[in-house]
Every structure is written in structure tokens, then in C-alpha cells.
Chains A and B, each alone.
Chain A
Amino acid sequence: MHELGIVFSIIRDVEEVAKENRIDKVDGVRLRVGEVSTVIPYYLEDCWNWAVDRTDILKGAALHIDTVPAVTFCGGCQKTYPTVTYGKICPHCGSEDTWLQQGDECVIQEIEVSE
């Protein structure tokens, strides 16, 4: 499953950050997930709950997901539009010269640690 691989890689990254900061227990992780990032939050949470309990640092840690809307920019008319609704073709001018401005990211934003 796609999300499981992503969860493993998030866990690896968080473990690295925890080590750098001499932390041995992380309570929560906040992610920014784009609408067209190919990551499905519902599956991500499932995999998360399964995987974190198999680690020391992240056992029981909460996952918070902030969704980032996907926005496409049109080179034809210089306007933007919502990617999910209109896809590759600009609804303002019909141009296909368009590219994604945001919405394909999956970013570990911050981690929460209780003092």
C-alpha cells in the first residue's frame, strides 16, 4: 500500500529529528498533505496507527493532517483555478499550457513533544 511506505518514511524522518533534538518521546506529528499528492489521509491514518505502535519514540503518537488545496496556474491567461474541479485545461481561457502551483506536497510540518 502506498500510504504504508509513506508512513515508514515519515517515521524515519521523525526519528532522525528526534535524535538531533535529543528527544525520546514524540506525542504528535503535523503533516501538510496536498489534495493531489496521491496520499489519501484516511489510509494514512490507518497505516500510521498500525506502524507507530511498533516504534519506541512514536508509540501512540497522534497524526494531524492539514489539507492543502490544489491550485493550477495558467500560462495562457495568468489566472489560477482549482485543479481538482478543472484538471489540465484552464476554465478561463481553454489553454492547456497550465501547471500545478500547489497541492502535490506531503510535508512533515512539526512534531509535538510534551515537556
Chain B
Amino acid sequence: MKDVRIIEVKRSVFASNEERADLLRQELKKKGIFLLNLMSSPGSGKTTTLVRTIEALKNTCRIGVMEADIDSDVDARTIAEQGVLSIQLHTGGMCHLDAEMTRQGLQELEKENSGQTGPVDLAILENVGNLVCPAEFDTGACKNTMILSVPEGDDKPLKYPLMFSVCDVVLINKIDVLPYFDFDMERCIQNIHKRNPQAKVIPICARTGEGVDDFAAWLTDEMRAWKEEEKSHA
């Protein structure tokens, strides 16, 4: 019989993702790339919101988008039509992205960008459509944003507390259809703040662009603050 040697590891799977995420954040800081992680359930309006956000920001910063579609490049094409850098991440049916997959995506984005005048200042990750798993894995992003759309209901912050507690901003999308649903905006905001008192809530209509400027302004402020922080550390 063979002798078996045991090697103690005691490494937390979640903690090791967090370490990788922190490392990635440091690298991004050195490169001056602000990474935004955008999460929501399928169809709540991530791609439409991105298109609007790109319209608002593309003259002030260089944007690159990573699309985590499970099995198509529909979203990546939609974004590319906006005239910004866009790649599709190969998630292989995964329900979330972790820091390592995000790093690989950023490398692809850099490859795609080679020959251009400079690196992107803003990289946006459209995460896999899912309210549970993406919330559990730090991608290495500087800020997290999630979209809740009106038809999903105002009780979602109670049902998916983790997602709402990891987000810096919650966009409430599809406010144009408010008259047709029993969605209570006040109650929704209360529910969000119960889980995360710091969360900024911005109601938007990605279809018409209403409210997207507020989000773009928030993003611009955050990027500026992050760059300042970078200088003060240097």
C-alpha cells in the first residue's frame, strides 16, 4: 500500500478570491483604470443603461466594456456599436465572475486596445444576470452598481439582501412603467436602506435616458475621488 502524506492547507476559497480581488484593485490603481461592476437579474436593463451611460461619458473618458453573456455576443456587439471598446467574456455557463476571470477579461480588453492612444480610464463589467451569486464574489471592482427594474418588485431588497448590501449605487430602472405595476418607490428605497444605509438610489429610465445623467455624474465624481486618492498615496 502507498503511504499517504497530508499537507495542511486551511485556505478559505472565498478569502482567496478576496485576496485576488484586492491585488487586482491595487494593479488597477497603478494603471489608472477605474473598474465598475454592474449587476442585476436578467433583462433588468444593464445593456440599455450602459449604452446611455456611454453616451453621457464617452467624450470625457475612454471606456472599455466587458460583457459576461453566457452564450452569445449580442450585448458585446450592441456596446461596440457605441464606438467604445468591448469584449465578450467567456463564462462557460458560470453564474458569477470572480476576480481571476475579471483579470483575464481586463487582459483581453488591453489586447483589444493595443495600438490605441492610451489605456482606458473606465472599465465596466456587465456581470452575469443573477441576484445571488455575483454578490458573493468580489471581482476587484472599485465600485459596485446594481439595477433593479420596476417589474421585479419593491420587495427584492428583502429577498436578496446580500446583493443590495454590497452595492454603492442602486439604479431603479424602467420608471416609465411605474403606472402599470404596484411598485412603491418609497417602500423600495426604505427596503434598500434597511439592508444598506449608505447605498445611493437613483431612479432611471434607460429607455429614454431619464436619470442617467445623475448616474453619470456620480460615476464621474467617484472616478475623480479615486484618482485624487491615488495621488495622495503616491
Q: Chain A interface (Cβ within 8 Å of chain B)? A: 1-2, 4-6, 8-10, 12-14, 17, 21, 23, 27-28, 38, 105-115
Contacts known (A13-B13, A106-B13, A107-B11); A114 close to B3, Cβ less than 8 A: yes
| Chain B interface, DSSP helix/strand/loop, else mixed | mixed
Identify B7's interface contact among A8, A12, A111, CB under 8 A.
Answer: A111
Chain B residue contacts of A23, Cβ below 8 A: 7
Chain B residue contacts of A1, Cβ below 8 A: 93-95
Known A23-B7, A111-B6, A112-B6; further 5 A-B contacts with Cβ < 8 A: A5-B137, A110-B6, A110-B7, A111-B7, A115-B2
| Chain A interface, DSSP helix/strand/loop, else mixed | mixed
A114, B4: Cα distance in complex, Å:
4
What is the minimal beta-carbon distance from A28 to any residue of chain B, in angstroms? 8
Taking a contact as CB atoms under 8 Å apart, the answer to whether A109 and B12 are in contact is no
Q: How big is chain B's contact interface, by range?
A: 20 to 34
Q: Produce 1/0 per residue, B50-80, CB < 8 A to A.
A: 0000000000000000000000000000000
What is the minimal beta-carbon distance from A102 to any residue of chain B, in angstroms? 12
Taking a contact as CB atoms under 8 Å apart, the answer to whether B93 and A38 are in contact is no
Taking a contact as CB atoms under 8 Å apart, the answer to whether A2 and B5 are in contact is no
